[in-house]
Amino acid sequence: MYTLLEEIWSTTRRNKLRTALTGFAVAWGIFMLIFLLGAGNGLINAGTINMSRFLANSIAVAGGYTSKEYNGLPKDRAIELNDKDFNVTRDQFGENVETVGAEIDMGNHTMVLGDSHETASLMGVYPNEIDINKRELLSGRFINQTDIEEQRRVLVVSKSRAKGLVGKNWKNIVGEHVTINGLAFLVVGVYSDDESMFRNNSFAPFTTLRTIYNKGDKADQIVFSFKGLETEAQNEAFENVYRHKINAQHDAAPDDEESVWIWNRFTQSLKMNTGMGFIRTALWIVGIFTLLSGIVGVSNIMLITVKERTREFGIRKAIGATPWSILKLIITESVIITLIFGYIGMMLGIGANLYMDATLGNTTMDAGAFQQKMFIDPTVGFGVCIQATLLIVIAGTIAGVIPARKAAKTRPIEALNAIE
């Protein structure tokens, strides 16, 4: 075995350029496959995690602007949701609607506790907010139905705002009264900040804020969870009927899709899954063709290698070498070259993915208060890396076997005269 390896090393040193080209083709193919799959996984993971932060079977509804004239009314009218829309959602769609809530955004306000103060967006919500937007409650409780009915001045704050007000013992804020615009609110809970959403929100009962700030019967959004809508077609049919009902409350055309904005997390998730499937398939196709280009490169170089060494093989056979020894030499050389450079390509690909994770993996899209990561864990499973490397090693071996068998079967006299 040592003699065989020594012969391969000697051949490699005599043909540095040929070996380098073979190795580059192998390493490049594996590197690009791992790099592309890693980049694709980063995008897919970000999309999956961002979507998982909301309850899949939930819908958020907001008013928009009419895009059509209707019943003598002009287009471009602003539509404001109100209690009638809330009641229609709850009472006329009870077959599919589970929990119903409403939201009102009062903008940024300063919370004061003793000598400390923190600024946060003040939101009026219903109890279903914690489930629909998957808030993680860390201490205390969330807004409940009694708070809504009695219009209590209670507040749920984020962990970061709690730490800003009371320091490292942030849980102690539960039970304290903070002042907002001269009004005292009892802090009843602390939730975990979520960078994908409005992280600086503080939540109070919807009815409380609407009364304090004299918003009448208005609501910025209606949010509800639903059941019994399992397919995209069923969801689209529900949305059409729901839109017609809400539009009728505001003298808007039944088919006006601009008057009411409907965000269906279920259908959006389906579309995103389809898109991510296309991305994953496209990346695999590009990666495999890149890998195939490396395999073709190895095959061509092995064919040339065998042809160049035909006379050498003839001499070996003339002095007693068996066909198997020649075949073994070529196969072993092919395996060693593809294995070494395949490993190099694999490690470079893994390194590139780790670099992406350390750079792009920590970047966020910031649109004012809205933040979410756009690139998460751009890596490929170690099993995929090993499989890709083994694939190109096997392909390189097969590429060496075909011409090697032909060379091994060549009669010595024919081989010696091949380059004459």
- What is the full per-residue pLDDT of the chain (420 aa) written as tens digits? 556 566 666 666 666 777 777 778 778 878 888 888 888 888 777 777 766 777 889 999 999 999 999 988 998 999 999 999 999 999 999 899 999 999 999 999 999 999 999 998 999 999 999 999 888 899 999 999 999 999 999 999 999 999 999 998 999 999 999 999 999 999 999 999 865 444 578 999 999 999 999 999 999 999 999 999 888 899 999 999 999 999 999 999 998 999 999 999 888 777 777 777 887 788 778 777 777 777 777 777 667 767 666 667 777 777 776 777 777 777 777 777 778 888 888 889 888 888 888 877 666 665 444 456 667 777 787 787 787 777 777 777 777 677 777 766 666 666 556 544
Q: What is the CA radius of gyration of the chain?
A: 34
Q: Are strands 58-63 and 116-125 parallel, antiparallel or unpaired?
A: unpaired
This prediction has a pTM of 0.68
| CA pair distance 416, 420, nearest whole angstrom | 8
Torsion on CA atoms 154, 158, 164, 169, rounded to nearest 10: 90
Domain limits, the chain: 2-53+269-416, 58-266
Q: Are strands 97-113 and 221-226 parallel, antiparallel or unpaired?
A: antiparallel
Neighbours of 259 (CB within 10 A): 25
| CA pair distance 22, 11, nearest whole angstrom | 14
Check the CA dihedral 163-143-223-119 and report its sign: negative
| CA pair distance 294, 344, nearest whole angstrom | 14
411 CA to centre of own chain: 60
| CA pair distance 246, 260, nearest whole angstrom | 8
Beta-bridge partners for 109: 120
- Look at residue 90 and give its three-state secondary structure: helix
| CA pair distance 95, 238, nearest whole angstrom | 11
| CA pair distance 63, 263, nearest whole angstrom | 11
